[in-house]
Amino acid sequence: MSSAARIAVIGLGSMGLGMARSALRAGHIVVGCDVNPASLQMLAAAGGKTAATPALAAVGADIVAVVVVNAEQTKTVLFGENGAIHALKPGSVIISSATLSPTDAKDFAARAAEHQVLYLDAPISGGAAKAGEGRLTVMASGSADAFLAARPALDAMAETVYELGNEAGIGSSFKIVNQLLAGVHIAAACEAITFAKRLDLDISKVFEVISKSAGNSWMFENRIPHVLAGDYSPKSAVDIFTKDLGIVSDIGRQQKFPLPVASAALQLFLMTSASGMGRDDDASVARLYANITGLELPAPAPEQTDVTAV
């Protein structure tokens, strides 16, 4: 593979678009595909190419990064009627970055192998800002050949790449553990800040104090500013965690492993979604608490309007 790889990025949400831009900065040829015309326009403005279908994006690609929401979307963009697999050349590699169950990851890897295409089970963490900076954490598993083929994209998009095993499914298992913690921490942060409001505390000062105290978490420090600003435009949507904690719950049931704390967090996200906030930022769990208890949180900026999920 030459130093400038041809990389298709399928899914140009807040993470995928940042990853595509990082690959462009590294000198690669990037072709993007997304159902949102605005995302395609932003990629084109950054110097990327665009394609109408995953198959067209994958024509001539060395690497296809799939950065969609879930297993069903991954299956469609890879193996559906206009899926990338139909255009990929033997020896090219799929970097699959959606949060999946380990079973789905293994299935997709096997299907890719039938087409002589490599598959890297490579879920990501770090958020939109780090995606745009090329500083993601990647929890990856796959064959040595898959890692080698994916390296140009990984070097451009990630600060840390964990090589966790030689089979698909291991990376997804690590990500599921991460999502258990992330979901619980977001729910706990929202509970804490609304509890502070009920105690008639200045929640801006609460944020300042807790951020420097033992009760702090990365999610508290990252998400509570959304609450303080009244800004629930989705950096990561509520329904991402109804999905991810749902996968956690399914695996726990299969393994006969109790997950009471994760289950409580899942119910909070489900209630928030059922209240009409599923496509809003996951810090909207604080709004659920506020609605239930009659609290008044900071209002959104006047120009804020309804937004779609990423």
CATH number of domain containing 182: 1.10.1040.10
Three-state SS string over 23-55 comes to: HHHCCCEEEEECCCHHHHHHHHHCCCEECCCHH
Q: Dump pLDDT digits (tens) for 20-73.
A: 999 999 999 999 999 999 999 999 999 999 999 999 999 999 999 999 999 999
Same domain? 189 vs 276:
yes
Is 49 a known active-site residue? Answer: no
16 lies in some domain: yes
Lookup: tokens for 30: 């990037």
Q: Residue-wise pLDDT tens for the chain (310 aa)?
A: 447 999 999 999 989 999 999 999 999 999 999 999 999 999 999 999 999 999 999 999 999 999 999 999 999 999 999 999 999 999 999 999 999 999 999 999 999 999 999 999 999 999 889 999 999 999 999 999 999 999 999 999 999 999 999 999 999 999 999 999 999 999 999 999 999 999 999 999 999 999 999 999 999 999 999 999 999 999 899 999 999 999 999 999 999 999 999 999 999 999 999 999 999 999 999 999 999 999 999 997 665 444 333 3
| Prediction pTM value | 0.91
- Number of domains forming the structure of the chain: 2
Q: What is the DSSP letter of 80?
A: S
> Which of 200, 182, 168 is CA-nearest to residue 127?
182
pLDDT score, position 300? 77
Same domain? 150 vs 182:
no
299 lies in some domain: no
Same domain? 72 vs 178:
no
Question: Which residue segment(s) compose the domain that 192 sits in?
Answer: 172-293
273 lies in some domain: yes
Q: Provide the CATH number for the domain around residue 28.
A: 3.40.50.720
287 lies in some domain: yes
Residues in Cβ contact with 164 at an 8 Å cutoff, skipping those fewer than 6 apart: 139, 140, 141, 170, 171, 174
> Which of 160, 280, 285 is CA-nearest to residue 219?
285
Helices (H), ranges, 158-277: 170-198, 203-210, 218-229, 238-255, 260-272
Helix axes 285-293, 170-198, angle to 10 degrees: 30
297 vs 15: CA distance, rounded Å? 28
> Which of 97, 131, 93, 130 is CA-nearest to residue 17?
131
Instruction: Tell me which of 125, 151, 168 is where a domain ends.
Output: 168
Token pair 């600003």: residue: 229
Element (H, E) at 156: helix 144-157
Lookup: tokens for 240: 């991402």
Work out the number of other CB atoms within 10 angstroms of the CB of residue 14.
Answer: 20
> Which of 112, 106, 130 is CA-nearest to residue 235?
130
The per-residue b/e assignment along 22-51, b for 16 or more CB within 10 angstroms, e otherwise, is bbbebebbbbbbbeeeebbebbeeeebebb
298 lies in some domain: no
User: What one-character-per-residue DSSP string does 268-282 give?
Assistant: HHHHHIIIIITTSBG
309 lies in some domain: no
Which is the catalytic residue, given 106, 175, 197, 243? 175
Same domain? 209 vs 269:
yes
255 lies in some domain: yes
Burial of residue 114, with CB atoms counted within 10 A of its CB: 0-12 exposed, 13-18 middle, 19 or more buried: exposed
